[in-house]
Structure 1
Amino acid sequence: MSIDQLQDIAQAMVAPGKGIIAIDESTTTCKKRFDGVGVECTEENRRAYREMLLSTPSLGEHVSGAILYDETLRQAQKDGTSFVKLMEKQGILPGIKVDKGTSPLAGFPGELVTEGLDGLRDRLKEYARIGAKFAKWRAVITIGEDSPSGTCIEANCHALARYAALCQEQGIVPMVEPEVLMDGDHDIDVCYDVTEATLRSLFGALYEQNVMLEGTILKASMVISGKTCSEQASVEEVAEYTLRCLKSAVPASLPGIVFLSGGQSDEAATAHLNAMNQMGNNPWPLSFSYGRAMQQAALKLWAQDMQANYAAAQRTVAQRAKDNGLAALGKWSRAA
């Protein structure tokens, strides 16, 4: 696939007023979510839940793509129509999570590195054959008293860059996700410094691995106060700090940036995205790639009665998509 084709896919992922829904929870993570709402985590229940999400009427109006788990990419609706075909009918690009999760970084207690490069080329070939147009790899950066170390940042960014190069080799747009966790009592200034250092390392690594930025999407965490920080930054401060950090470290040639919600409330994630877009004059489109902030309210409804609440759960998904689509244009308000 040419760089022009990769670029076309990347641009479609951040089309005006559209973003990504992340439904790539592993079976283990899905079980935790289902346990929280009293649903048995069987393969059929996982399939039925993802069908409810992906078959939401008019979902494609505000959702450009969906990140899937390996199991989900291979599944189908109850009538036998594959999820890939269902998404194509909605104009939604199929994506796939390809990392294998985090492991302790040897020699650096408390720090993590994402694994999954072994065998990735062959897995990507299969995913491309099934219909995946983009992929996602998540790195985890933890802020602590003596962390993150430079080694942790470098190791994770190198893996992200190798993954991205392998994706483009197979005609798949890589979404690179270096998540700086909200966990901790650090203030927004510390988050800024760590996020900037991580992004600078990431784009240096992408350059070294000959990754074409025009065919790459950044999934970024916002610059935000730690969850247990005594002084929480305002919506405007989060927007200002995040934009300043991105402009200092992210090349303008990138087709777009999507944000993860990272444990924020549904409304906070939308409000922060909206504020950034209202500030305007950004080198790249800014949109969303939310998981829990898109799903959680609908999951609770669906879990109460999978049949009776089916349509209501879908309306909730559609409303969250609309809210975040408006925020990607800087046109969201709490009354919208």
Structure 2
Amino acid sequence: MSNVDQAAKIRAGQGFIAALDQSGGSSPKALRLYGIEEDRYSSDAEMFDLIHGMRERIVTSPVFTGEKVIGAILFEQTMDREFDGMPAAQFLWEKKGVVPFLKIDKGLEAAANGVQLMKPMPGLDATLARAVEMGIFGTKERSVIGAANAEGIEAIVAQQFEVGRQVLAHGLIPILEPEITISIPDKAEAEAMLRDAILKHLDALEEGKEIMLKLTLPEQANFYQPLVDHPQVMRVVALSGGYSREEANARLAQNKGVIASFSRALTEGLSDQQSQEEFDATLGATIDSIRDASVAG
């Protein structure tokens, strides 16, 4: 498996990154939207088996290929499981041509200064070493901005780059995800603070090191263009963040050089009850719409 080939695919691929990384907290909602109610499972183990079944059905579908889906973000448990009898990351790259990433954050701290930092990640170096062995290309780590608070946003960005450097030390590419909540009244102001803080930290990043960014779709089209154009940013991807797929796609199409990394918007409309034919048709239409919005810019 060549990191060079994978980096080339992420840099130039005409497609999007699928976020298949729902964790314990978001799995019940994801399953409910998929048509599996909570009375269908009675333990976390059963819940994770069902969510893995949903993910496996998505990635093994003939419409899920590296032609339109250039990368996929996996939950840590998924990395240790199999798709169609092969280790998950290996299956994605070797069978589908999809570059595998790993979600590494352990959830969020309580809000302070208008933001939620990432909880500590004990054993991160061991996880990253295992990810390298499993054929993972990069990581994703999420924190949340809930207000245009300069002190809080600086703390978020500083933490993201600190974790990013740890990831880079293992030869992996980090996707830094300081998500701005879409419903806040001062979203545009928060975006300005975030962009400035990221540019400042990028200037301090060691020469030759590259990161990726996963950002909430901005109020002003192409607002993050300086980040898209930065020589040390491999790719800027967008989260759907609670927007409907239609609105997320419409916003995305206005941002040149930004591609999607959608989670809920990817699985919208899929159901456990669908026949394979219906499932593939729905997923295929979704993939086409997200891919088209990703390359529209």
- Matched position secondary structure for 2:182: coil
Corresponding residue for residue 286 of structure 2: 320
Consecutive unaligned residues in structure 1, runs of 5 or more: 225-240, 278-284, 332-336
- Asked if residue 132 in structure 1 is aligned to residue 111 in structure 2, the reply is no
* Inter-partner Cα distance in structure 2 for 1:11 and 1:165: 21
Corresponding residue for residue 196 of structure 2: 200
Residue type of the alignment partner of 2:68: H
Cα 1:205–1:262 change in 2 (3 A) is same
Moved more, 199-208 or 259-268: 199-208
Instruction: Give the alignment of 1:1-336 within 5 angstroms.
Output: 9-36=6-33, 37-39=35-37, 40=40, 42=46, 43-60=48-65, 61-77=67-83, 79-88=84-93, 89-105=95-111, 108=113, 111-143=115-147, 148-184=148-184, 186=185, 190-210=186-206, 212=208, 215-224=210-219, 241-243=220-222, 245-247=223-225, 251-253=229-231, 254-277=233-256, 285-298=257-270, 301-302=271-272, 305=273, 309-330=275-296
Moved more, 9-18 or 254-263: 9-18
Cα 1:297–1:47 change in 2 (3 A) is same
What are the superposed Cα offsets for residues 227-253 of structure 1, whole Å, 9 maximum, x if unpaired? xxxxxxxxxxxxxx131x213566521
What are the superposed Cα offsets for residues 211-238 of structure 1, whole Å, 9 maximum, x if unpaired? 755x2211111123xxxxxxxxxxxxxx
The answer to whether the 8 Å contact 1:256/1:286 transfers is: yes
* Inter-partner Cα distance in structure 2 for 1:266 and 1:203: 29
* Inter-partner Cα distance in structure 1 for 2:183 and 2:4: 34
Give how far 1:206 is off.
Answer: 4.0
Consecutive unaligned residues in structure 2, runs of 5 or more: none
Cα 1:167–1:92 change in 2 (3 A) is same
What are the superposed Cα offsets for residues 288-308 of structure 1, whole Å, 9 maximum, x if unpaired? 10111111211xx22xx2xx5
Equivalent pairs, count: 285
The answer to whether the 8 Å contact 2:228/2:235 transfers is: no
Larger Rg: 1
Moved more, 11-20 or 85-94: 11-20
Moved more, 204-213 or 256-265: 204-213
Cα 1:206–1:292 change in 2 (3 A) is same
Residue type of the alignment partner of 1:94: P
The answer to whether the 8 Å contact 1:98/1:116 transfers is: no
Cα 1:211–1:267 change in 2 (3 A) is farther
Cα 1:163–1:267 change in 2 (3 A) is same
When normalised by structure 1's length, the TM-score is: 0.77
Give how far 1:98 is off.
Answer: 0.4
**Alignment RMSD (CA, Å):** 2.3
When normalised by structure 2's length, the TM-score is: 0.87
* Inter-partner Cα distance in structure 1 for 2:4 and 2:243: 30
